[in-house]
Amino acid sequence: MERIHVAVRSRPLSPEDARSSPWRISGNTIAHSAQSFTRFEFDRIFGEECRTAEVYETRTKRIVDSVVRGFNGTVFAYGQTNSGKTHTMRGSTNEPGIIPLAVQDLFQRIEEHMDREFLVRMSYMEIYNEDINDLLVPEHRKLQIHESSEKGIFVAGLREEIVTCAEQVMDFMSFGESHRHIGETNMNLYSSRSHTIFRMVIESREKGDDNEVEDSCDAVRVSVLNLVDLAGSERAAKTGAEGVRLKEGSHINKSLMTLGTVIKKLSEGIDGQGGHVPYRDSKLTRILQPALGGNSNTAIICNITLAQVHADETKSSLQFASRALRVTNCACVNEILTDAALLKRQKKEIEELRAKLRNSQSDHWGEEILNLRNTLLQSELEKERIALELEEEKKAKEQRDRRLIEQAKKIENLSSLVLNSERDDRSTAFSKDKRRVTWCPGPNTRQIGIEVLGPAAEGRASSTVRNERNMGIPPRFEELMQGSYASNDEPSSGACSSSDISKDSEDVSLPDSHALLHVTRRKPNTMKKSDQEQFGGTTGELVIPQDPCDGNDALQSQESTASCVVSSLSARESEAIFVIKQLQDQIKLLEAEKSSIQTNLDDVLELATQQKTSFSEKYEELQQNALAAQEQAKVANEKLSTLSANVKSNQEVAYGFLSNVLMETRGITLETDQLGNSVDSALSFIDELCQNLLTMAQGILEVKHSAHEDITQIGSMIMDYEKLLACLMEKFCKLESEKKLLEEQSQDQQNEIDKLKSSLESCEKAIDDCTLQHELEKDSILSDLLNLQKEVSTLSSSSLMKEKESIRKELDRTKAKLRETENKLKNSIQEKIKLQSEKAEAHKEVKKLQSQRTLLERDLRKRDSVTVDKRHELNSMPQELAEVFDQAVQMQEEYQKLEVHAFNMETEISSLQEALTTSIAEKDEALSKVELMTSELEDLANKLNSSESERNSLSDEIALLTKKSIASESILKRLEASFNSVSREKEDMGMQLTDALLDMESEKSIWTAKERAYLETNQRLNICLDENRKLSEDLIKVRQELVCCRERCRTLEEKLALSLEGDMNEKGIKCCEACKGSDQAVEKGRTIDGAIGENELQKQLLMITEERNSLLSETQQMRLIVNEAEVLKENCNIKLIHAKATVDELSSRISVMEVNMKNDAVAHNKEKTKLRMQIRWLEPQLEAHRGQLKEAVDEMRIMDAKYQEASTMLKKELSQSCREVLRLREMLKESQGTRN
């Protein structure tokens, strides 16, 4: 068993980073200067000035040696991006890395082992986006991982090249490096985007001569050397990865995370405990499974950077390396043995043993063999015996465990029984104490009664003792029992009955009477008749005719009621103790809740600070984006102003040119009409030519009219563009105003946050003060509760009803609070729906822009069709001219025929001599007409030449118009391109601003919700504090009133005791006098005097009882007030608990809303990326359309050139035809002259 060797190598730093570095290296330990607990120790730590050769010599060299001897070996390079992993593994020309050094050392070791023959194979693969690619054969991609019993874990389809020297290996490696995925990030110019595994498989066996072939063994050693260059873990915020780079980074981080979990599981020893190690979660860990906790010698080189900026990444990589130190591997020699090889090896060993025996020359080798066999048998027997003993020990251990479990159960049962018995003993002791209090109690029982009843009863007990001393010998026990029964069963009809007295004295407690009543039950209730008769006689003697209540009966009834009160007090003492325990538990719960509230407040403050920092960062980003947008808008406005000036100038030139052309065309049409009217009478073919010219002029007018329409359309388009730009400017101004409002809101929120912090601090101080007050009040309440255990027993059903009503009220309040929270949730859902509607409106605006774009494309297509029609018309013009020339040729032929016919006619005239005179006259007239016609023809020819010159000027103007139209088209294209760029920039700005607004609104909603929660919690805390203060004040008042009432009760009780003593003395004297006297008159007088005294006593008793009742009512009211105060306190505590629960629920709902908002933001970003992809997809189509437009313009130019060539040819032909007409006329003249 050997653990993984871990070495740390730090990248060199710049002087500034070295000054600010928080890490300190001392020997093989590295520690963080600011955090004393972050301290790591490794096998070796290399500083900035170490070379790769030193790193290789520490551990990798020994791994290469073991690979040659048949052990597997693996070397990792782990660390964050831009930490020097590839440099460590690959190196450079000046400083070779681990791989070149290992390859050279491997072949040197192979050359040193002359007794073995080796076969070396190498492969080179990369894991890119969780796909395995073969770097030696780039066509082999997305290879699969397989596992078999013979090969183990291998990659199917991976090329393995047989190599014989280090140079060949390096050539293959350089070829593979050329196909590796490398990209550029903000942190590294040449960042590795994939994990690479450089693998060398070494097979070896023993060499043997021809004679030694039979003796040699066929065992083959197969070892694997893996040199792994891992891609670095990275953060998108630092690398600036987007698109493909972001995807690559996510796959890299995922595979490294699985590698970290595998190392963590192995370091915890889960593999040895039968747990699951997730090798299959990543292809990297699956391929390198034997190197991680398996059959391999493994070393990890952890590359770090000691800069302050990368402190967190360095700490995480060091934690990974420290976990890897605890992973152990079990490396062994990998030999492949066939059955024949095993047989050969065993035969060889047997022969070696025989040779050793022969060399030893021992005659007793047979005996030695027998001794060896005996020792083997003995060892086997000992093994069996040890196994049996182990089984017996296991069984005994199981029995012991069972016994221990049973004993533990018994102990638990006994302990519970002991506790119950203690409770029973206490209760029985209490009851026994009560039962043993006799009518003549001892000192111990009296003390017990005083202790139970409290300090308030001590005075009363002493007074009763005095009464007993002053009263003399008390009556007999049976008489007291009979008197008590008579007082309970025979109510009198006098002014003051025993029932009334018992009702009035329900709350009076007399311990001696209580003891007497309880002692009565110890003896039988049967009484002698003589005693009853004697008792009845005495009572009959003392009774008045009106049946008044006897004093002894009243005392006995009071004693019975007092005994009932004491029993109720003794029964309720336990309830009071239970209530005290409940109150103590509630106090503990309140303290725990207070600590939890403080922790929650600390967490809320931390969250507030974090959100404040994130909000400030986002605010700075928004400011930068807004400034960039303003600059872009300024540039766009400048461009638009220049473009609008150019367009206006072009429009003015085009309008002036068109007006000139129209004037010229109108003049030409008038002149052609005049020429047509003058030539109609002359020649028919000239009329036809004029008609053709008119049609051509009409075509030119149509072309000009269409060009004018195109220019008007272009002007309208430019106006639309200007309107759009004005709308964009308005929107930009609105966005700027909204931005200012958001800035103001952010400042207000920051101020509110500061206020909330100050209020929270004050609340914490108030809570601390309240806790101190509560503790003091708790102590005072406990003391009061111990003193008022008897008063607590007077809780009636009315207090329970009040508690029920208060609980119902609190339930209604909680329901109202729940409704408020539901309303808040509904409001948040409505705000979310509003955000979604705004998002839909943004999508609608995008669709509108796309529809405008399609309309522009349609307009371009229409223009293309118009240009094509114009080209067709221009192509048809030379055809019409050709038709005109054909008609002219036909006319010339007809003219020639007429001339022939004229010659024939002249011959006939010459033959006819009779018509000479007439012919001569006609000839003269004809000559004059011919001269006129010739002059007219010359004028027409001049006019034709002028029209041709005008036509040439028109064609030049048409060419200029075409050039200008081409220039205007190019300007339009530029305008379209600028408009598209501006629209794209506008869309990007709109998307950015919408994203920013959404983020701001989400944060604003979060802050508002938190502020509301804080305000509600503060309000509730203030309310609870006010209620607690009021309760404490009420409690103080109640205590003062209770003290006053107690003093009054004591004074009244003393008065009662004194009055009762006087009455009892007088009654004793009167009874003695009644027994001695025998005269009826004296007896009557005495009875009358006794009755009068009794009436006075009854009146005094009534007065005292009324005062006592008033005092009792006041004490009851005070107790009710105390109970109400306690109920209010409990309600406040319950309200606090409910408030905490509502705060927790609101915080959980807020977190859920934050998660939903984040999900919506992610979905919005996805939609934004989709739209960007669509725009990128449409850009090549636009470029294709632009190319088509360029081709169409080139075709227009070619057609214009052809048109100009055709027009020049037609002009030449026209000039030739005119010349021929003149020549023919001259020939006519000459022929006429010859005839004359």
Amino acid at 381: L
Q: How far apart are CA 353 and CA 1140, in angstroms?
A: 86
Q: How far apart are CA 366 and CA 875, in angstroms?
A: 125
CB atoms under 10 Å from CB of 325, counted, come to 18
Phi/psi zone of residue 454: left (φ > 0), alpha (ψ -120 to 50 degrees), beta?
left
CA separation (Å) from 369 to 357, 362, 365?
11, 12, 6
Cβ contact 1217:941 at 8 Å: no
CA separation (Å) from 850 to 420, 534, 793, 854?
87, 124, 84, 6
Kindly state the greatest CA–CA separation across the chain: 225
Q: How far apart are CA 696 and CA 1080, in angstroms?
A: 173
Q: How far apart are CA 1023 and CA 1017, in angstroms?
A: 10
Q: How far apart are CA 1024 and CA 774, in angstroms?
A: 12
* 802 is known to lie in a ligand binding site: no
**CA angle, corner 907, sides to 902 and 913, nearest 5?**
125
Q: Which residues contact 639 (CB under 8 A, 6 or more apart)?
A: 978, 982
For residue 989, give both structure tokens: 């700005």
* 1236 is known to lie in a ligand binding site: no
Residue carrying structure tokens 């043995």: 337
* 809 is known to lie in a ligand binding site: no
DSSP per residue over 76-138, as a string?
A: EEEEBTTSSHHHHHHB-SSSB-HHHHHHHHHHHHHHH-TTEEEEEEEEEEEEETTEEEESSST
Q: Which residues of 686-705 are buried (b: 16+ CB within 10 A; e: fewer)?
A: bbebbebbeebbebbeebbe
Cβ contact 234:140 at 8 Å: no
CA separation (Å) from 942 to 213, 935, 936, 938?
123, 11, 10, 6
Q: How far apart are CA 1187 and CA 864, in angstroms?
A: 13
Q: How far is CA 122 from the centre of its chain?
A: 46
* 731 is known to lie in a ligand binding site: no
Could you tell me which of 1112, 1143, 1102 has the C-alpha nearest to residue 1009?
1143
* 84 is known to lie in a ligand binding site: yes
Residues recorded for the chain: 1236
* 86 is known to lie in a ligand binding site: yes
* 1234 is known to lie in a ligand binding site: no
Q: How far apart are CA 742 and CA 434, in angstroms?
A: 81
Give the residues across from 9 on adjacent strands.
Answer: 46, 303
- Kind and range of the H or E element at 598? helix 551-680
Q: How far apart are CA 45 and CA 314, in angstroms?
A: 14
Amino acid at 503: K
Give the residues across from 1028 on adjacent strands.
Answer: none
- SS3 of 1165-1216: the string is HHHHHHHHHHHHHHHHHHHHHHHHHHHHHHHHHHHHHHHHHHHHHHHHHHHH
Q: How far apart are CA 933 and CA 1221, in angstroms?
A: 13
Question: Which stretches of 615-771 are assigned E, i.e. beta strand?
Answer: none
Q: Which residues contact 1098 (CB under 8 A, 6 or more apart)?
A: 495, 496, 548, 549
* 80 is known to lie in a ligand binding site: yes
Known binding residues for ATP are 79-86
Known binding residues are 79-86
